[in-house]
Chain A
Amino acid sequence: MASTIDLTTAPTTEGVASRPFPLWRRGVTMVVEGVLYLLIALLVAITEYFVAEPIGDFGLSNWWIAAVIYAAFEGYCWPAGQTTAMRLTGSSVQLVDGSFAGPMRMAARQLIRFLVVYAAPLWAFDFNVWRIAVIAGAVAVIIEVLDRSDVGAKAPWDFFIGSTVVEGGITGVSPDPGPVRSVSDLQLAPGRAAQNERARKAMFAAGLSSVIVSVLIVLNIFTEASEFVSDQEFNWGLLTDVGWFPRRGQFDLSTLFVGTLWVTVIAMAVAGPVGIGVAFYLSEYAGDRTQRIVKPLIETLASIPSVVLGLFAISFIFPKILQPIFSDIGIFSLLAAGLGVGVLTVPIVASISEDAMRAVPTELREASYGLGARKATTALRVVFPAAISGISAALIVGVSRAIGETMVVFIAAGGSGGALFESDPTEPGQTLTAAMASVGAGTDSVAGSGIAFQSLYFLGALLFLATLLLNVASDVIVRRFRQVY
């Protein structure tokens, strides 16, 4: 029994109705055009920043280089009867006879369009964004009011080459679907497959944003940090000087390390027990009603901005808690800062540990009860060991958060100008992050250079590596020791 359906027929553009492109999508196309050009200009500037000397200037040359690159994209798209932006939004320029505009016609059309939409306002209005928007609006009105459908022209420039803008294009045209034989055939209606493909590409581009940001962070921090190390005034002896005074060229790292260590240890001494205790309570003991009270409480604690906790450290922790205990303590101390950071770290430790405990299957608990174990025994001997990987991950993430916390320490630990090596936590001190904040805030001009300012990036690189290491470690622990049930 021979099949009568010929599946080998090549896709054809015939029989596909050319739908006119709606006005609002033409507007979108124009916005896409502007954004695309801006993006290219940004990329040019960023490339220039990393490849050439950091000139700290977004000059006119960037715009021209971007224009050349954009023109190259245009030249690539014109033979298909599309502009670069049209290719992205899925439209094309069609002549009255149904064929697509060729490169020469496209060039002529784009030239006129460029003159009307960009060049004329640039010349007349000194390139004011709002006035360009007004012109675009006027053109939109012309397109809508003056319907010259007899010649197939819509916009003024379309009128000159006798064209109109339609949905889809040579590259985006779907094959004639033919008779529907399966569900996937339904998806091939004109324009829909192309729309799907465009959406996929746009989402992928959005997904790349995280990669781009990561690359930028790493490139930026490590280029600048290497400049600090290769600076003429720099020698490795500076890193073991008498203290951390960037303005005087003293960059003793041990001062910062011991400060960071104290703050982290004190913070975890608070957040570890409290966080894990709350997690035990929420996952093992709390009923529905108490959960509805305790959970929002933890969320509230998590939403308190760190700068408020900095104020809390010097206006509450210092006078109400520390002064009665240590009579000679000053208002700024690593201890107060550490306690403040501890309050901030509690919700992270609590929520990650609670998730870990909840992930322990109920069967394990039931088995434990079945053997006659009490609630506390079950929690400590069954749930805790089963969730230990998640709980250690929670503690590591807490440590990473405590190391990276800036504002509490910047406000409450003192030593904004610098600090001497100090191993007593009741004295003022300086951490990695607070030192960065001081340098960053203290410079009169952020674009300033000099070795004191470069130290900011050197510390940033250390901080980035430390937290990255901790985060990766917590990831590995969770994966390595995860019990598979």
Chain B
Amino acid sequence: MRGDTFDPRTLQKQPGADRPGQAFYGLISLAVLAAFIMVGAVIWDVVQGSWDISTSRMWGFLTTSFVSNPDEAGVAQGIRGSLIIAGIVILTFPIGIGAAIYLEEYATDNVMTRLIQVTVRNLAGVPSIVYGLLGLAVFVQTLKGLTGGDSVISGALTLAILVLPIVIITSAEAIRAVPSSYRDGAYGLGATQWETIRTQVLPAAMPGILTGTVLSIARALGEAAPLLVVGAAGFYTTGNNDFLEQMRGAFTALPMNIATFTKEPAAIWRGHAAAASLVLLVLVFLINLVAIIGRARIAKRLGR
């Protein structure tokens, strides 16, 4: 008999349609639709704006430096600068991962640990342009003898500091997610804490750590505000400098190129800005893709 067990759904089936519920669902669907439109509009705008350049001379655009003739100008300098920046930022990742290991594995609950945790959290919320000020004071002015002033080294180190809290937070999350049974097993076999971390915790946390670090490269590649303050050039002229001189000389990066093209009063440069944006977007999306695929592959290898 139906009356024996109470089905709560009967309560929901009151007479009359669920109009407020449908209205609410409609509203949040509208929000999702808006997000879709935002992404679509940005991509459409960039593709459409860069259409002339990307269909006629994309390769030339990628491989030539800036010249004042709009038909020949390219972003080769920006691409090179961005790649050097990415390389230097990657070199500083061990610091962030090490900090995460300390916080999650070694740290005991004391004043120092809490200080580190608080500073990491707050650094993640500091606006990027403030990091530019730090880079200006420390790398450009104080350490001029080493970095060569407003050079790609200064810019890259500034961005490395910018992404440091992101690397620490994402790595710490990945390490925290490793089950403690992994650690107990290693200790039970007589491993020291470091051996446990190196052979058990880090490999297990690697997918998460990789995702976090790769995403922070993407973040570093897209930042322009700190570079602006540190003194990146929109464009520059250069002779045949050797590698070390290039590292310490004038520099630019893709987002700086975009900003400079966009700020040009003549509308013809808007197309260049869109084309450079397209290059940057493709680069950033590719990096994200690498993160997603890498995460999936490593997770598969670890059998999870």
Contacts A303-B284, A404-B127, A436-B229; is A410 near B39 (CB within 8 Å)?
no
CB-defined contacts of B49 to chain A, threshold 8 Å = 311, 315
Q: Contact at B123–A214, with CB atoms within 8 Å?
A: yes
Point out the residue from B8, B123, B132, B281 that lies within 8 Å of A440, measured CB to CB.
B132
Residue-wise, chain B 93-123 has the 8 Å CB interface mask toward A (1 for contact) of 0111111011101110000000110011111
Interface assignment of B176: CB less than 8 Å from any CB of chain A? no
Measured CB to CB, the closest approach of chain A to B127, in angstroms, equals 3
Bound Cα distance A350, B38 (Å): 14
Residue-wise, chain A 454-482 has the 8 Å CB interface mask toward B (1 for contact) of 00110010011001101110010000000
Q: Contact at A305–B115, with CB atoms within 8 Å?
A: no
Interface assignment of A71: CB less than 8 Å from any CB of chain B? no
Q: Contact at B95–A312, with CB atoms within 8 Å?
A: no
Please report the total number of A residues contacting B with Cβ < 8 Å: 107
Interface assignment of B144: CB less than 8 Å from any CB of chain A? yes
CB-defined contacts of B273 to chain A, threshold 8 Å = 311, 315
Measured CB to CB, the closest approach of chain B to A50, in angstroms, equals 9
CB-defined contacts of A343 to chain B, threshold 8 Å = 38, 42
Q: Contact at A217–B134, with CB atoms within 8 Å?
A: yes
Q: Contact at B258–A308, with CB atoms within 8 Å?
A: yes
Q: Contact at A204–B32, with CB atoms within 8 Å?
A: no
Bound Cα distance A403, B49 (Å): 29
Residue of A54, A274, A380 most packed against chain B (CB within 10 A): A274
Point out the residue from B8, B122, B133, B223 that lies within 8 Å of A305, measured CB to CB.
B223
Interface assignment of A372: CB less than 8 Å from any CB of chain B? yes
Residue of A209, A312, A416 most packed against chain B (CB within 10 A): A209
Point out the residue from A183, A214, A470 that lies within 8 Å of B187, measured CB to CB.
A183
Q: Contact at A407–B145, with CB atoms within 8 Å?
A: no
Interface assignment of B302: CB less than 8 Å from any CB of chain A? no
Q: Contact at A311–B190, with CB atoms within 8 Å?
A: no
Point out the residue from B11, B161, B195 that lies within 8 Å of A196, measured CB to CB.
B195
Interface assignment of A437: CB less than 8 Å from any CB of chain B? yes
Chief secondary structure at chain B's binding surface: helix
Measured CB to CB, the closest approach of chain A to B46, in angstroms, equals 7
Interface assignment of A441: CB less than 8 Å from any CB of chain B? yes
Q: Contact at B25–A447, with CB atoms within 8 Å?
A: no
Q: Contact at B96–A206, with CB atoms within 8 Å?
A: yes
Point out the residue from B21, B95, B134, B270 that lies within 8 Å of A206, measured CB to CB.
B95
Q: Contact at A467–B125, with CB atoms within 8 Å?
A: yes
Residue-wise, chain A 11-54 has the 8 Å CB interface mask toward B (1 for contact) of 00000000000000000000000000000001001101100001
Q: Contact at B115–A211, with CB atoms within 8 Å?
A: yes
User: Which of B52-60, B64-72, B135-143, B293-301 is the interface stretch?
Assistant: B135-143
Q: Contact at B102–A281, with CB atoms within 8 Å?
A: no
Residue-wise, chain B 253-295 has the 8 Å CB interface mask toward A (1 for contact) of 0010011001100000010011001001100110010000000
Residue-wise, chain A 213-253 has the 8 Å CB interface mask toward B (1 for contact) of 11011001100100000000000000000000000000000
Residue numbers of A with Cβ under 8 A of B are 42, 45-46, 48-49, 54, 56-59, 62, 183, 186-187, 192-193, 195-196, 199-200, 202-211, 213-214, 216-217, 220-221, 224, 273-278, 280-281, 285, 294, 297-301, 303-312, 314-316, 343, 346, 350, 369-377, 379-380, 397, 400, 403-407, 410-411, 416, 433, 436-437, 440-441, 446-447, 456-457, 460, 463-464, 467-468, 470-472, 475
Contacts beyond the supplied A310-B259, A436-B133: 10 A-B pairs with Cβ under 8 Å: A56-B142, A183-B187, A199-B197, A297-B36, A305-B221, A315-B270, A380-B24, A397-B125, A404-B127, A406-B128
